[in-house]
């Protein structure tokens, strides 16, 4: 029987609850489909930071490298540890070290969910560049605290980086409905974004079967609200993708339903799967976190591992329970009730 080794990082707050929920469902899927998921839990979190002074040990990245995939709940406890510390101490180093350059987030309404839009029949896959661009971290400040203070932050776009994310987008579009929307702001940003457009046009020649459209970020934001059903795969830079995927989460009914994967498409290192939401300190001890986003992220992990049937089974179970009105609104059902319903629907 095939065995996959999974590094589990539940993290902080509701990260722990939703990881436990997703893991129970993934285990059920594994036994139904005849494979093993061997989980190793790491306590890396803000609590760990308070105890040790680091979000993860120095050899954390090397430890994770040996796993087939990483599953993360959420990290962050802003009352005690600054967000910049928790983000830069764990999540970002993992994404960068393992070259998880494609951050993918599906945006569609599950059955039984009423989103904020009139449009119901949309199914968008947002692909965000995850390692460079506006979040490269290149910059600095001088004359701090004076009236002459200057802050600069440089967006770095490499041909390699743009080409690979755009190509990933084309591949996904080819496997879906054959439409790719590339998002830039090349009317205003005449170097990096014009470059992105050029690279997209170059790569497009290899995919004559995929229909490509080019949008500016502002127009895309409007389109995701006004005509989301016209979109299939959307590919964007780190910053633009970050913003669009929050919009995507909103139109699909909220953070309780927003799943994500940080993919290393070349499979030279493990990919990481996590719900989009954070640790939600405001509801952390109430057992009302919706685990659906986390379970959906787990289904994405199964698909990445090559267990497509098990993945489809998990998604089918999620859809079966939301269609019955379970877990469809924030705080409506407790975490355990939603998890048990998914488990029951899997049988
Ligand atoms: N990937 C990550 O680990 C990640 C992502 C985002 C935020 N964070 C961190 O999480 C902490 C809290 O951030 P925030 O409050 O801005 O964002 P958040 O996503 O934790 O919460 C935003 C709001 O959505 C609600 N919510 C989120 N997920 C929910 C769920 N599954 N079910 C029901 N309600 C849910 C919360 O109760 C809160 O009102 C911060 O430290 C932040 O840095 C981590």
**What is the predicted pLDDT for the residue at 329?**
87
Q: Which atom of ligand 1 is least distant from the CA of 11?
A: 3
Q: Which of 73, 65, 52 is nearest to 8 (CA)?
A: 73
Q: What is the CATH number of domain 116-251?
A: 3.40.718.10
- Specify the pLDDT at position 332: 86
Q: What is the pLDDT of residue 331?
A: 83
pLDDT for the residue 78: 96
Calpha distance 200→256 (Å, rounded): 33
Low-confidence ranges of the chain (pLDDT < 70): none
Shared fold status for 1-114+263-347 and 116-251:
yes
Give me ligand 1 centre to Cα 241, in Å: 18
CATH 1.20.1290.10 correct for 1-114+263-347? no
Predicted local confidence at residue 136, as pLDDT: 87
The pLDDT value recorded for residue 70 is 98
Q: Where exactly are the structural domains of the chain?
A: 1-114+263-347, 116-251
* Enclosing H/E stretch for 134: strand 133-142
- Its pTM stands at 0.96
- Is 185 catalytic? The answer is yes
For residue 276, how far is its CA from the centre of ligand 1 (angstroms)? 8
Annotated catalytic residue 59: no
Integer Cα distance of 127 and 165 in angstroms: 8
In the prediction, which pLDDT does 178 show?
98
**What's the length of the chain?**
347
The SS3 assignment for 153 reads: strand
Candidate from 44, 45, 49, 76 with most ligand 1 atoms within 8 A of CB, to mutate: 76
> How do residues 98-146 score in pLDDT, each as one tens digit?
999 999 999 999 999 999 999 989 999 999 999 999 998 899 999 999 9
CA 49 to chain centre: 24
Angle at 72 between CA 279 and CA 170, to 5 degrees: 110
- For residue 38, CA distances in Å to 22, 57, 71, 169 come to 14, 22, 12, 31
242 tagged catalytic:
yes
At residue 138, the 3 state secondary structure works out as: strand
Residues paired with 8 in a beta bridge: 41, 71
Q: How far is the CA of 279 from the centre of ligand 1 (A)?
A: 5
pLDDT of residue 328: 95
Q: What's the pLDDT at 64?
A: 98
What pLDDT shows up at residue 330? 82
């Amino acid at each position: 029987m095939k065995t996959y080794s999974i590094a589990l990082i539940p993290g902080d707050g509701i990260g722990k609850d939703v990881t436990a929920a997703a893991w129970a469902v993934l285990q059920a899927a594994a036994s139904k489909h005849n494979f093993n998921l061997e989980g190793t839990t790491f306590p890396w979190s803000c609590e760990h930071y308070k105890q040790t002074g680091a979000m993860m040990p120095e050899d954390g990245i090397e430890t994770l490298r040996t796993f087939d995939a990483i599953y993360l709940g959420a990290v962050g406890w802003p009352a005690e540890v600054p967000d910049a510390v928790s983000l830069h101490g764990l999540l970002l180093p993992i994404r960068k070290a393992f070259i998880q350059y494609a951050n993918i987030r599906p945006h569609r309404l599950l059955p039984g969910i009423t989103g904020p839009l009139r449009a119901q029949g949309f199914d968008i896959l947002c692909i965000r560049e995850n390692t460079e661009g506006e979040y490269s971290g290149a910059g600095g400040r001088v004359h701090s605290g004076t009236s002459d203070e200057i802050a600069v932050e440089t967006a770095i776009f490499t041909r390699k980086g743009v080409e690979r994310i755009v190509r990933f987008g084309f591949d996904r579009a080819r496997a879906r409905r054959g439409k790719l929307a590339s998002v830039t702001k090349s009317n205003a940003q005449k170097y990096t974004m014009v470059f992105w457009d050029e690279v997209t046009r170059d790569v497009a020649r290899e995919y004559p079967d995929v229909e490509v459209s080019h949008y500016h970020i502002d127009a895309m934001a409007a389109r995701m609200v006004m005509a989301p059903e016209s979109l299939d795969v959307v590919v964007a830079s780190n910053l633009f993708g970050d913003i669009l995927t929050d919009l995507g989460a909103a139109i699909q009914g909220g953070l309780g339903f927003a799943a994500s994967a940080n993919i290393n498409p070349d499979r030279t290192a493990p990919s990481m799967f996590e719900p989009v939401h954070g640790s939600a300190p405001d509801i952390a001890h109430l057992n009302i976190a919706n685990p659906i986003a986390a379970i959906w992220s787990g289904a994405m992990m199964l698909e990445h591992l090559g267990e497509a049937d098990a993945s489809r089974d998990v998604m089918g179970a999620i859809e079966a329970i939301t269609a019955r009105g379970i877990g469809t609104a924030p705080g409506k059902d407790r975490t355990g009730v939603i998890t048990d319903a998914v488990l029951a629907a899997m049988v």
